[in-house]
Amino acid sequence: MSLLEGLSHIVLTAKTFEEYDQCIKFYSSFGFQTVSQDANATSAEGLVNYLHLFGKSPVQNITLKIVLSPDATKKSPFPEEKDWRLEHALMNSVSANIAGVEEILKSLNFSFQKYTYPGSDLSNSSQDELIHTEIYAHDPLNNLIVFTNKLMPFSKTIYATSPKVTNSFNLTLPSLKSNKKRIGFLTSGGDAPGMNAAVRSIVRVAVSRGCEAYAIFEGYEGLVSGGDMIKKFGWADVRGYLAIGGTLIGTARCKSFRQRSGRLSAALNLVKNGIDALIVCGGDGTLTGADTLRQEWPGLIKELIDNGKLTTEEAAPHKNLNIVGIVGSIDNDMTSTDITIGAVTSLHRICEAVDCISSTAASHSRAFVIEVMGRHCGWLALMAAISTDADFVFIPERPPSENWESEMCRVIKKHRLLGKRKTIIIVAEGAIDLKLEPIKSSYIKDILAGIGLDTRVTTLGHIQRGGRPCAYDRNLATIQGVEAVNAILQATPETPSPMIGLRGNKITFQPLMEAVELTHQVEVAISKKDFRRATELRDPEFAEDYEAYVATTFVDNKDMLVPEYQRLRIGIIHIGAPAGGMNPATRTAVRFALNRGHTPVAIYNGFNGLLEENVNELSWIDVNGWSSKGGSELGTNRSEPDFDMGMVAYQMQKQRFDALLFIGGFEAYHSLIKLHKARDKYPAFCIPMICIPATISNNVPGTDFSLGADTSLNAIVDNCDALKQSASASRRRVFVVELHGGQSGYLTVLSGLAAGATSSYIPEEGISLKTLQSDVNHLRRRYKEDKKGNSSGRLILRNECVSDTYTTEVIANIFKTEGRGLYDSRTCILGHIQQGGAPSPVDRIRATRFAFKCLYFIEQHAFPTMSTEQTVRPRVYTNTKESAAVIGIEGEKVICKPVDDLLKDTDFKNRKSTKAWWIHLKGLVELLSKWGYSEKETETENLYEAIDKSMQ
């Protein structure tokens, strides 16, 4: 459609001064700005005007050179009555405000043609916003211009112009001079992996928004001492921060800040440095200190004036202090948020350690008592126990029963009898019994020795502080850093200081002191032996996770058994490509099913296996160790039931399946739909059927996260860190990295955020020559800014399906050639490495949650109307729409959604969900790699250079 698609500048030649002037006016009306004009021209002839459109996205950046020349030949006008879509356009202009374009054309008295097409939803937007509109108009030189609200001309999907996602960011940049706040930030209390990622995003977003960012070193110590401990940070100061554990700006426990005198010095230092807002990252102590400072602020300022340390003029701009808290704590001990920065990385280290210990324990048939951190919070211990198939766990919120010693020995003996060669006990450092007496690892060891087990104690200690942050913590901290700056910019003197949290995948804001107060109530509840309350105060999943752990770990708990006539034969099948979490989900389903009295049956190698009768009942010990196993122990492939539907039904009947549990990606979802649709024809499919989404692409409708996606992100980020290191060492090298994901850009965007990529190409947006040109310019700018001999490696992430034309190789070659010696490029195709090795703890936990709830779903739909007096086993028969569902995470809830209801959210052609809650994060990847922000001079300077060079 567009003649000049892909070019970053266009030359227009006007014959008369009038046309020249009209052209400038016309384009200025649509946001083009004059960046340069030849004011020295001696006569009107030869006049030149450069106009530039400064767009937010690369495709919206374009330069026009308008030249006045008597030799110009004007295009003849295209007939009004014809369809202007048949004409070649000079350019495509992307505009979110298409109605505004129409208004402007009307006010300029220009005729236009308008066409609308229905779009498809990607962001929960209303249908009105999904109309794709094109407006065709001619400029004063009769060139056809197309205005469209379709983000990318080649994209398959149309975005709503303003995505209504709850956690979208305002990425619009205010003018550089407005809103110039001085934002101070510090990290305090215990260090936590991800703190550096938060610092990086605070600095970069603050700078992008025209603010100044001040690092305060060593936590409150730096604030109290002032001087060199407070330093202005710029863009480059936080380079490389993402991948580093701990906190690079230091942390300390500061006694003096607990005293008013200490806080008085802190106030003085803040005012002297002109800092009017503070972001603190730490635990509840840090947040309490921050709130005290804010409450005392007016009094502190008055005192500083009274004792002559500050003049009234100096103090005048600092009547208020805005404070925002981000929680950095490996313990995940803050209530009011699902997760704190650092906790997931810490869990990674614990799981790695327990996985290692497990092999030696199994080799020697030993028992290990492993002590993990958590003085008042059992989150790390419980999640580690779930993730590593531990035999017993001790946490402060749920002390064990009175005679726990004999109960523990009974459980362990039973596990040993079933064939387990290792015993793992996880103890939180704050574990207590019902009398509130501490439960010590050494005591547990003595008890186990008493039943003849060779037992060792391992205290994991500071290893749990984490080191390199995992993908989850990097993204959590990055996003919370952005929101912290946004909160500062939006704060009024009356706004209470917020704590930034997370519920589901949504960012939350809560008055800081309310959150701290609730956290302290956990300790109070424990001290009052109100353990139910203590558990409730944790995140909403905590109590359920504990229940799931107990229900899937201990055997022979007769209380859990359902009556004999309600017992089911449950088929379990893996479909699609392997994904981390498939085995842990199967393990949980099998163990819980057995504890309820059901019979779990493995179907090996997908539907092919079913047809070959490759099925087997699974026992408790068959799934031993599967919590930490990657891939698919049952075997998986992409084949779906098609022509052989009758044979599938026959085998289902033959195997007497009462329910079917699918674990897999889009193929699993699609297979479930096919079986559900064939229920009229085949009664064998009239049983409860549920799908656990498991695919690294995260493209299954009905869930925000599928199993395997987190494992894959970590695998990608690990490799990207290595590539960045290699690229940095080689100096001035760009890696174009090709990633999996099918038609979904999830992995590309999320790993781009976690690895600090410069740009990411995703199928939802497509890719064009113009994008590449923009990226080349961007890379050239960045490499020019780098200090000599100190250049960082850069990454461009490309989804495998983004374009058939612009392959990874082609892109790398274009970058290399167009870099013109400033940098070179290499490709890297990560391939199947992206499936990861062992599943990540996040995937193990999600797998447990999903599988546990799936079993309840199956029971509920197998006998929805059965009376409790019934004793004869009826045949399972259900064909309700609710009995064929996908389990998923939606916001903060785990829910089962009927497949019938998900059809409208499914893009079958591209095999993915039409919802992409994560799409707005792409803008953040670009913002944090300096897209959209440039010192004005550099921008203009490079612009001229680019124009001049390309016109030579």
Cβ proximity of 910 and 764 under 8 Å: no
Which residue matches tokens 């070659």?
813
User: C-beta of 328: minimal distance to ligand ADP in Å?
Assistant: 8
Minimum distance between the CB of residue 252 and ligand ADP, rounded to whole angstroms? 7
Q: Residue 191 CB, nearest distance to ligand ADP (Å)?
A: 9
Name, in order, each residue with C-beta under 8 angstroms of 530's C-beta and a sequence gap of 6 or more.
Answer: none
Q: What DSSP element (H or E) covers 925? A: helix 921-928
Is 331 among the residues known to form the active site?
yes
* Cα–Cα distance measured from residue 701 to residue 846, given in angstroms and rounded to the nearest whole number: 17
Q: How far apart are CA 200 and CA 215, in angstroms?
A: 11
Answer whether 329's CB lies under 8 Å from 341's CB.
Answer: yes
Among 2, 196, 208, 286, binds ligand ADP (CB under 6 A): 286
Minimum distance from residue 515 beta carbon to ligand ADP (Å)? 12
Least separation in angstroms between CB 375 and ligand ADP = 11
> 826 a known binding residue?
yes
Nearer to ligand ADP, 289 or 501 (CB): 289
Which of residues 245 and 282 has its CB atom nearest to ligand ADP in the complex?
A: 282
The whole-angstrom distance between residue 413's C-alpha and the CA centroid of its chain comes to 42
- The nearer residue to ligand ADP, 16 or 261, going by C-beta atoms, is 261
Q: Is 501 in the site for ligand ADP (CB under 6 A)?
A: no
Specify whether the CB–CB gap between 835 and 739 falls below 8 A.
no
Catalytic option among 331, 333, 389, 473: 331
602 binds ligand ADP (CB under 6 A): no
Calpha distance 365→416 (Å, rounded): 10
Is 104 part of any known ligand binding site?
Answer: no
Q: Which of 257, 592, 669, 735 binds ligand ADP (CB under 6 A)?
A: 257
Dihedral Cα 182, 187, 192, 198, nearest 10 deg: 0
Q: Which is nearer to ligand ADP, 285 or 741 (CB)?
A: 285
Report d(CA 472, CA 240) in Å as an integer.
Answer: 17
Measured distance CA(700)–CA(722) in Å, rounded: 30
Indicate which single residue of 58, 140, 190, 245 sits in contact with ligand ADP (rule: CB under 6 A).
190
696 is in an annotated binding site: yes
Residue 234: Cβ within 10 Å count: 12
Does residue 289 bind ligand ADP (CB under 6 A)?
A: yes
Pairing, β 277-282 against β 912-913: unpaired
Closest CB to ligand ADP among residues 139, 284: 284
Q: Check binding of 148 to ligand ADP (CB under 6 A).
A: no
- Contact with ligand ADP (CB under 6 A) among 15, 56, 114, 253: 253
Exposure class string for 830-842: b at 16+ Cβ within 10 A, else e: beeebbbebbbbb
> Left if phi > 0, otherwise alpha if psi is -120 to 50, otherwise beta: which for 172?
beta
Q: How far apart are CA 759 and CA 728, in angstroms?
A: 17
Q: Decide whether 518 or 555 has the Cβ nearer to ligand ADP.
A: 518
d(CA 147, CA 134) in angstroms, rounded, equals 6
> For ligand ADP, which residue of 74, 239, 258, 826 counts as binding (CB under 6 A)?
258
Is 21 annotated as a binding-site member? no
Q: Is residue 520 part of the contact set for ligand ADP (CB under 6 A)?
A: no
State which of residues 222, 285, 400, 600 lies at the interface with ligand ADP (CB under 6 A).
285
Q: Tell whether 800 is in a known binding site.
A: yes
Phi, psi (degrees; rounded to nearest 5) at 77:
-65, 145
Residue 418 or 524: the one with the smaller Cβ distance to ligand ADP is 524
Q: What is the SS3 assignment for 329?
A: coil
Contact 369, 425 (CB under 8 A): yes
Which DSSP symbol is given to 388?
H
What number of chain residues touch ligand ADP (CB under 6 A)? 17
Task: Measure the CA–CA gap between 801 and 811, rounded to whole angstroms.
Answer: 14
When binding is defined by CB under 6 A, the residue of 167, 292, 521, 616 that contacts ligand ADP is 292
748 sits in which H/E element: helix 746-755
Min dist CB 267 to ligand ADP, Å, is: 13
Among 37-45, 284-292, 404-412, 425-433, which window interacts with ligand ADP (CB under 6 A)?
284-292
Q: How far apart are CA 719 and CA 736, in angstroms?
A: 13
**Cβ closest to ligand ADP, residue 374 vs residue 932:** 374
* Residue range at the interface with ligand ADP (CB under 6 A); choices 186-194, 451-459, 746-754, 782-790: 186-194
Is 60 flagged in the annotation as binding?
no
> b/e string for 787-811 if b means 16 or more Cβ within 10 A?
eeeebbbbbbbbbbebbeebbbeeb
Cβ–Cβ < 8 Å for 402, 395:
no
Cβ distance to ligand ADP smaller for residue 285 or 584: 285
Least Å distance between CB 472 and ligand ADP?
A: 20
Q: Which of positions 218-247 make contact with ligand ADP (CB under 6 A)?
A: 220
**Which 845-884 positions form the footprint of ligand ADP (CB under 6 A)?**
none
**CA 879 – CA 679 distance, rounded (Å):** 7
Write out the two tokens for 250: 């230091």
370 annotated to a ligand binding site: no
User: Contacting ligand ADP (CB under 6 A), which of 282, 641, 741, 742?
Assistant: 282
> Which residue, 190 or 466, is less far from ligand ADP as judged by CB?
190
Give the CA distances from residue 828 to residues 6, 744, 808, in Å, rounded to whole numbers and listed in that order. 25, 19, 8
Residue nearest to ligand ADP (CB): 285
Does 451 appear as a known binding residue? no
Whether 464 has a binding-site annotation, put simply, is: yes
272 binds ligand ADP (CB under 6 A): no
Q: In whole angstroms, how close is the CB of 376 to ligand ADP at the nearest point?
A: 11
Residue closest to 662 by CA, chosen among 573, 588, 569: 573
Q: Does residue 283 interact with ligand ADP by CB under 6 A? A: yes
Distance CA 66, CA 41 (A): 14
Q: Rule CB under 6 A: is residue 284 a binding residue for ligand ADP? A: yes
8 A C-beta contact, residue 377 and residue 396: yes
Minimum distance from CB of 59 to ligand ADP (Å)? 45
Q: From CA 458, how far away is CA 442, in angstroms rounded?
A: 10
Site for ligand ADP in 318-347 (CB under 6 A): 329
The verdict on whether residue 373 carries a ligand-binding annotation is: yes
Find the binder of ligand ADP among 189, 501, 609, 625 (CB under 6 A): 189
User: Cα–Cα distances in Å, from 402 out to 107, 556, 868?
Assistant: 82, 19, 33
- Grouping H, G, I as helix, E, B as strand and the rest as coil, residue 735 is strand
Smallest distance from ligand ADP to CB 946, Å? 49
> Where do we find the tokens 């692409």?
697
When binding is defined by CB under 6 A, the residue of 254, 525, 537, 776 that contacts ligand ADP is 254
What tokens appear for 258 in the block? 């607990």
Bridge-partner residues for 369, per DSSP?
425, 457
3-state secondary structure of 866: coil
Sequence letter at residue 834: Q
Closest by CA to 705, choosing from 527, 565, 524, 581, is 581
Give the footprint of ligand ADP on residues 116-135 (CB under 6 A).
Answer: none
Residue 288 lies near ligand ADP (rule: CB under 6 A): yes
**Closest distance to ligand ADP from the beta carbon of 440 (Å):** 24
> Shortest gap between Cβ of 527 and ligand ADP (angstroms)?
18
Among 49, 92, 188, 552, the residue binding ligand ADP under the rule CB under 6 A is 188
Binding positions for Mg(2+) are 284
Binding positions are 190, 253-254, 283-286, 329-331, 366, 373-375, 429, 456, 462-465, 638, 695-699, 733, 800, 826, 832-835, 911
Binding positions for substrate are 329-331, 366, 373-375, 429, 456, 462-465
**Which residues are annotated as catalytic?**
331
Instruction: Give the interface with ligand ADP as residue ranges (CB under 6 A).
Output: 188-190, 220, 253-254, 257-258, 282-286, 288-289, 292, 329
